[in-house]
Chain A
Amino acid sequence: MTQADLLRDNRRWTTAMIVVLILSVGWTFLSRVPQAATVNGGPPPSPREGFSAPDFTLDLLGGGQVALSELRGKVVMVNLWASWCPPCRAEMPAIEKVYQAYRDRGLVVLAVNTTFQDNEADAAAFVQEFGLTFLIPLDRNGSVSKRYQLRGLPSTFFVDRNGIIRSVIIGGPMSEALIQSKVEELLKETP
Chain B
Amino acid sequence: MLPFIRLGPFLLQLPGLVLLVGVWIGSALAEKEAERLKLSPADVYNLIFYGLVAGLIGARLAYAAQYLSAYLANPLSLFALTPATLSPNGGLVIGAAIATLFGWRKKMALRRTLDALAPGLAAFMIAFGVAHFLSGDAFGSSTKLPWAIYLWDDYRHPSQVYETLAALAAFAIVWKRPVDKPGDGVNFLLLVSLSAAARVFLEAFRGDSVIWLGGFRAAQVIGLLALAASLWLMRVWAQRESQSAQML
Contacts and interface: CB of A to CB of B under 8 A. Distances in A.
Most buried by A among B80, B211, B217, B235: B235
A32 B224 CA distance: 14
Contact of B215 (A7, A35, A44, A184): A35
Contact of A177 (B67, B200, B203, B235): B67
Contact of B179 (A4, A14, A174, A182): A4
A35 to B, nearest CB: 6
B152 A46 contact: yes
Interface in B192-219: 197, 200-201, 203-204, 208-209, 211, 214-217
Contacts of B224: 21, 24-25, 28
Contacts, number: 136
Contact of A178 (B85, B201, B208): B85
Interface in A49-90: 50-51, 86-87
A181 B66 contact: yes
Contact of B77 (A8, A24, A151, A178): A178
B220 interface: yes
Interface in B1-21: 3-4, 6, 9, 11, 13
A48 interface: yes
Contact of A87 (B9, B74, B211, B220): B9
A171 B77 contact: no
B225 to A, nearest CB: 10
Q: Bin the interface of chain B by size.
A: 35 or more
Contacts of A7: 179, 186, 234-235, 238-239
Contacts of B127: none
A40 interface: no
A34 B80 CA distance: 41
B110 interface: no
B50 to A, nearest CB: 27
B44 to A, nearest CB: 24
B108 interface: no
A190 interface: no
A34 B211 CA distance: 10
B66 A171 contact: no
Nearest to A51: B152
Contact of B71 (A33, A174, A177): A177
B242 A171 contact: no
B217 A31 contact: yes
A131 interface: no
Nearest to A177: B77
Contacts of B4: 151-152, 170-171
Interface in A1-40: 2-4, 7-8, 10, 13-14, 17, 20-21, 24-25, 27-28, 30-35, 38
Interface of B: 3-4, 6, 9, 11, 13, 63-64, 66-67, 70-71, 73-74, 76-78, 80, 82, 84-85, 136, 152-154, 178-181, 186, 190, 197, 200-201, 203-204, 208-209, 211, 214-217, 220-221, 223-224, 227-228, 231-232, 234-235, 238-239, 242
Interface of A: 2-4, 7-8, 10, 13-14, 17, 20-21, 24-25, 27-28, 30-35, 38, 44-46, 48, 50-51, 86-87, 151-152, 167, 169-171, 174-178, 180-182, 184-185
In the A-B complex, the 9 residue pairs with the smallest Cβ-Cβ separation, listed nearest first, are A177-B77, A31-B204, A32-B215, A181-B67, A175-B77, A180-B70, A7-B238, A171-B11, A177-B70
18 contacts: A13-B235, A14-B235, A20-B231, A21-B228, A27-B204, A28-B200, A31-B217, A32-B216, A151-B4, A171-B11, A171-B13, A175-B76, A175-B77, A177-B64, A178-B85, A180-B73, A180-B74, A181-B70
